Amino acid sequence: MRYFICIFLVLFTGTIFSQSDFQKGKQFFDEAQYQSAITHLKKTVDSHPTDAVAIELLGDAYGHLEQWDHCITTYKKLVEIDDSNANYHYKYGGALGMKALENKMAALGLLDEIETEFVTAAELDANHIDTRWALVNFFTELPGILGGKQEKALKYANELEVISPVDGYLAKGFIYKDDDDFAQAEHYLKKAVVTGGSATCYEKLSELYQDENRYNSALFTLKEAYKALRINNYQYEIGKLSAVHGIEVHTGIESLESYISNYKNTDSYPLEWAYLRLAQLNRFQNHKQEALDWIDKSIAMNNDFQLAKKERSKILKL
């Protein structure tokens, strides 16, 4: 009896320590301390080599650190444990893809396996959006000589459109933009804005216009985005477009002043950049003193801001 109790205690204690390692690993992962997470998750996986939850989290940690060889090995274990899990194939294919991007010499030998894993994931899960986006990217960006084909990319964009119309429109916009078919890209990105109206939809349409040097259209899109979503960053981006391309100067000034008034630390653009853009816009109007006031505020916030110092020299020449 004592023997069995001892065995039970050993097993129970081992389980507690294993759970403790997993919990610590997950906590470190949630805190973005990925190397520490790996240390504890490896202990869990070593003692429980078929624990798919721990293995997946370990692979995710390697991925965050861009340790693609370890990531590939870890995700491959998931596929071996459960070959019918679409997400495991997707993650394994994604890790192979990242290694291919990082190591061009190895890329050619990985392309078939990357495609196989993504296609398998798509076949296993008819509603797996991320896999279809991966296939759209894969076939769009891969050179034709290596198997990249617009029709293959469009096949998965069409599947996306069935699952999520806005994703389908965005995917088609991406494909046609890559193919330099501006009219079709604009058509689908406009449909994405109408259907989804998300930040991504507006931003992709604005980027398309900027790439095509249609700055007034890009500015209009950003103004519509701000009206719909009230995201403060758009006010800066409107002001930047105005300042860089000298369009709708008064709109740019109003937008930048609004950005500054509503600025929070979570906003993407530091205030010294907003001050710089206001200085540029006032220079366009030959408002020398106003321009100097704004540029001096910018430099006061960041004395190493070389672009602001160059702008100050331009203002002094007015």
Chain segment 64-102, per-residue pLDDT in tens: 999 999 999 999 999 999 999 999 999 999 999 999 888
Q: Where in the chain is the domain with CATH 1.25.40.10?
A: 154-228, 231-318
Looking up tokens 């100097």, which residue turns up? 292
What is the rounded CA–CA span in Å between residue 92 and residue 72? 6
**Whether the Cβ atoms of residue 72 and residue 82 lie closer than 8 Å to each other:** no
What is the rounded CA–CA span in Å between residue 95 and residue 101? 10
Contacts of 151 (CB under 8 A, 6+ apart): none
The per-residue pLDDT for 4 is: 42
What is the rounded CA–CA span in Å between residue 172 and residue 157? 6
- What is the token pair recorded at 90? 């997707």
Q: Average pLDDT of 162-172?
A: 98
The per-residue pLDDT for 9 is: 38
The per-residue pLDDT for 148 is: 56
What is the rounded CA–CA span in Å between residue 182 and residue 205? 11
- What is the token pair recorded at 185? 């890209």
The better pLDDT of the pair 151, 105 is held by 151
The per-residue pLDDT for 6 is: 42
Q: What is the DSSP letter of 265?
A: T
Q: Residue 261's pLDDT band (boundaries 50, 70, 90)?
A: very high
Q: Average pLDDT of 175-181?
A: 96
Contacts of 175 (CB under 8 A, 6+ apart): 136, 140, 150, 153, 154, 157
End-to-end Cα spacing for the chain: 96
Q: Average pLDDT of 148-160?
A: 90
- On the question of pLDDT at 206 being above 80, the answer is yes
**3-class secondary-structure state, position 29:** helix
**3-class secondary-structure state, position 146:** helix
Whats the size of the chain, residue-wise?
318
The per-residue pLDDT for 50 is: 95
- What is the token pair recorded at 285? 């109007």
Architecture of domain 231-318: Alpha Horseshoe (1.25)
pTM for the full model? 0.85
CATH code at 154-228: 1.25.40.10
Q: Of 224, 220, 198, 225, give the one whose Cα is nearest residue 210.
A: 220
Q: Of 101, 108, 90, give the one whose Cα is nearest residue 68.
A: 101
pLDDT tens per residue, range 127-146? 999 999 999 998 888 765 45
Percent of the chain, pLDDT > 90?
84
